[in-house]
């Protein structure tokens, strides 16, 4: 069993969290949240927001869209990131193709140096301005995927560079070319190192897709806003959306942890 | 050091609950020195800016959605929301403790927006609009929504002319503006939606609605993302410089200020 680095007793963070928690409960109490009338009101609004006319289906459809965009962007992100990182590493490792390296460098600088929101708007309203029959979700997938690719490239590069240079030297001295040493020796080890970080990137991506409403996609966040516009109720739809995001993120985080344990199995 | 920050954070949180008492609002003129809210890119925003003058940077907050503006009004972060009368009526009916100030800020006309220079489409839409006005179709659509209760209107009852041979007809809107447009389930209802469905049918095309933020609509129509934008858009001289408009389909829509009932004295 792996023992984690746990501090005994409560840390400062726990105390702060406690204070904030007590304060929030106090706020709820002060606003009459714990009275029977408030509960009835809460239930009535809950019915209006989610049950009436099957409005929860708007959230379900939104969730589908969020998951679809995240998975599509993930695939593009991994492919683009892998290609970019190999270009960058190969340049340092002696395979000099200056044009490609410059391209990869510029790509990473520009896409990491500008907000995803601005990129999304540019993709939709400038680059794909005339592509009207194209489903907007595909534009979003492309925008998020290419953006994520820049971050993934840096994650991969870190992973590849963390492999001892001796591995490459050994593979080359056995007569393998640079390409096959990379493919068969370095990348399999690097991938194992970067998988947890990659997962974290995709958890971040999932949350980032919440800006897709700006180009007219009814994702999970936008579905919450659509319910708000229907019922004129501000808090419940948003809190529900937050809870759904949190559940997915917690589930994915759990997966990463399991994966980490599985990957480190048999390492020593 | 961290303890100090923790204390400050808690203090700041507590301070947030306290609000000072202010004198009640009586008329529109008083709004000139008050914190106001409006939806971004709407005429409500322009009117609030005119009202506040130099102080607009400090006192005006703009939101993407009306619901957010109304929420900050209820929380006392702003004292009034400047908006169109019809959606304002719905807010006042359904949200407790809100009223519309008696005096209106201005009266506006609504029209459909097109890409600058798209005269051919403007003319054919104008022709259809004139027919709709003449044969009572438009009046019938308005009658369905005018009393504020349109729970009987179902999105699936509106004919989008699916699979029409003339291809697709893209219309941009912001579906948080009842009774003109509202997202219901996976469809849309509203005066504008039904009007556009009728226009699309007359053009022999299938209506496709793109639901975006209001301030993105002018971009969408000028880049050709959509054929026209229909979202209770007020005709202004400034907007006329950047896009073409159809004939008006709503005349004299009032712009009003929504305030808290306990903050207003007639």
Listed by start position, the domains of chain A span 56-264
ipTM of the complex: 0.79
Q: Other CB atoms closer than 10 Å to residue A12's CB: what's the count? A: 11
Min Cα distance B30 → chain A (Å) is 27
Chain B contacts of A216, Cβ < 8 Å? Answer: 172, 210-212, 216
pLDDT tens, position by position, B30-87: 899 999 999 998 999 999 999 999 999 999 999 988 889 999 999 899 999 999 998 8
Q: What is the pTM of this model?
A: 0.81
Judgement on whether residues B93 and B120 belong to the same structural domain of the protein: no
* Residue A90 pLDDT greater than 70, yes or no: yes
Check residue A135 and give its pLDDT. Answer: 86
Average pLDDT, chain B: 89
Domain containing residue B163:
108-253
Judgement on whether residues B36 and B128 belong to the same structural domain of the protein: no
Judgement on whether residues B244 and B159 belong to the same structural domain of the protein: yes
* Residue A141 pLDDT greater than 80, yes or no: yes
Nearest Cβ partner for A232 among B94, B168, B183: B94
Judgement on whether residues B25 and B103 belong to the same structural domain of the protein: yes
- CA pair distance A77, A201, nearest whole angstrom: 10
* Residue A3 pLDDT greater than 50, yes or no: no
CATH code for position B46? 3.40.190.10
Judgement on whether residues B124 and B196 belong to the same structural domain of the protein: yes
CATH 3.40.190.10 fits A56-264, yes or no: no
- CA pair distance A32, A42, nearest whole angstrom: 11
Chain B contact present for A48, CB below 8 A: no
Judgement on whether residues B221 and B121 belong to the same structural domain of the protein: yes
Q: Other CB atoms closer than 10 Å to residue A46's CB: what's the count? A: 14
pLDDT tens, position by position, A160-211: 889 898 998 899 899 998 888 888 988 888 888 888 889 999 999 999 999 9
Judgement on whether residues B41 and B115 belong to the same structural domain of the protein: no
Judgement on whether residues B112 and B102 belong to the same structural domain of the protein: no
CB contact under 8 A, B9 and A16: yes
- CA pair distance B220, B243, nearest whole angstrom: 11
- CA pair distance A236, A263, nearest whole angstrom: 40
Split into its structural domains, chain B has a count of 2
DSSP string for B129-182: HHHHHHTTHHHHHHHHHTTS--TT--GGGS---TT-TT-EEEEEE-SEETTTEE
Judgement on whether residues B78 and B137 belong to the same structural domain of the protein: no
* Residue A219 pLDDT greater than 80, yes or no: yes
Check residue B232 and give its pLDDT. Answer: 92
Angle (CA) B201 B205 B209, round 5°: 90
- Report whether B78 contacts B71 (CB < 8 A): no
Judgement on whether residues B9 and B103 belong to the same structural domain of the protein: yes
Judgement on whether residues B101 and B115 belong to the same structural domain of the protein: no
Average pLDDT, chain A: 88
What tokens were used for A222?
Answer: 């936008």
Chain A contact present for B125, CB below 8 A: no
Judgement on whether residues B97 and B116 belong to the same structural domain of the protein: no
CB contact under 8 A, A230 and B65: no
Strands (E), B27-105: 36-39, 60-63, 80-84, 98-100
Which of A27 and B228 is assigned the larger pLDDT? B228
């Amino acid at each position: 069993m792996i023992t984690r680095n746990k501090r005994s007793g409560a840390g400062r963070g726990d105390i702060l969290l406690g204070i904030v928690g007590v304060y929030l409960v106090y706020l709820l109490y002060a606003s009459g949240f714990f009275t029977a009338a408030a509960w009835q009101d809460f239930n009535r609004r809950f019915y209006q927001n989610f049950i009436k006319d099957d409005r929860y289906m708007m959230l379900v459809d939104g969730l589908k869209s969020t998951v679809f965009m995240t998975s599509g962007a993930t695939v593009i992100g991994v492919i683009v990131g892998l290609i970019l990182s190999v270009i960058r590493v190969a340049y340092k490792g002696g395979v000099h193709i200056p044009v490609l390296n410059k391209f990869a460098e510029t790509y990473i600088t520009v896409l990491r140096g500008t907000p995803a929101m601005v990129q999304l708007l540019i993709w939709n309203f400038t680059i794909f301005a005339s592509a009207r029959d194209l489903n907007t979700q595909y534009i979003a997938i492309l925008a998020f995927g290419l953006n994520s690719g820049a971050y993934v490239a840096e994650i991969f590069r870190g992973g590849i560079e963390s492999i001892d240079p001796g591995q490459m030297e050994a593979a080359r001295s056995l007569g393998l070319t640079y390409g096959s040493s990379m493919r068969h020796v370095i990348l399999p080890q690097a991938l194992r190192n970067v998988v947890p970080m990659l997962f974290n990137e995709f958890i971040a991506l999932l949350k980032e897709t919440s800006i897709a409403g700006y180009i007219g996609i009814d994702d999970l966040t936008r579905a919450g806003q659509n319910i708000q516009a229907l019922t004129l109720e501000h808090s419940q739809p948003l809190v529900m959306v937050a809870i759904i995001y949190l559940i997915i993120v917690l589930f994915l985080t759990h997966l990463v942890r399991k994966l980490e344990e599985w990957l480190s199995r048999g390492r020593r | 050091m961290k303890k100090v920050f923790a204390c400050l954070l808690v203090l700041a949180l507590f301070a947030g609950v306290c609000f000072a008492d202010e004198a009640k609002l009586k008329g529109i003129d008083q709004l000139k020195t008050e914190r106001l809210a409006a939806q971004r890119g709407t005429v409500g925003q322009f009117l609030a800016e005119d009202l506040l003058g130099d102080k607009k940077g400090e006192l005006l907050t703009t939101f993407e959605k009306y619901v957010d503006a109304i929420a900050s009004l209820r929380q006392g972060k702003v004292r009034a929301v400047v908006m169109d009368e019809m959606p304002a009526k719905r807010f006042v009916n359904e949200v407790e403790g809100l009223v519309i100030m008696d005096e209106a800020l201005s009266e506006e006309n609504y029209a459909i927006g097109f890409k600058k220079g798209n005269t051919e489409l403007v003319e054919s839409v104008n022709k259809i609009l004139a027919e709709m006005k003449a044969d009572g179709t438009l009046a019938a659509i308005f009658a369905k929504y005018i009393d504020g209760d349109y729970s009987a209107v179902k999105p699936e009852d509106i004919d989008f002319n699916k699979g029409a041979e003339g291809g697709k007809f893209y219309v941009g809107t912001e579906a948080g503006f009842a009774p003109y447009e509202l997202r219901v389930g996976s469809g849309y209802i509203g005066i504008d939606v039904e009007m556009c469905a009728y226009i699309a049918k007359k053009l022999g095309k299938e209506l496709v609605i793109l639901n975006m933020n209001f301030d993105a609509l002018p971009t969408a129509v000028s880049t050709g993302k959509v054929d026209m934008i229909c979202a209770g858009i007020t005709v202004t001289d400034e907007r006329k410089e950047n896009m073409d408009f159809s004939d008006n389909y709503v005349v004299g829509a009032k712009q009003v200020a929504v305030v808290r009932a306990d903050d207003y004295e007639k």
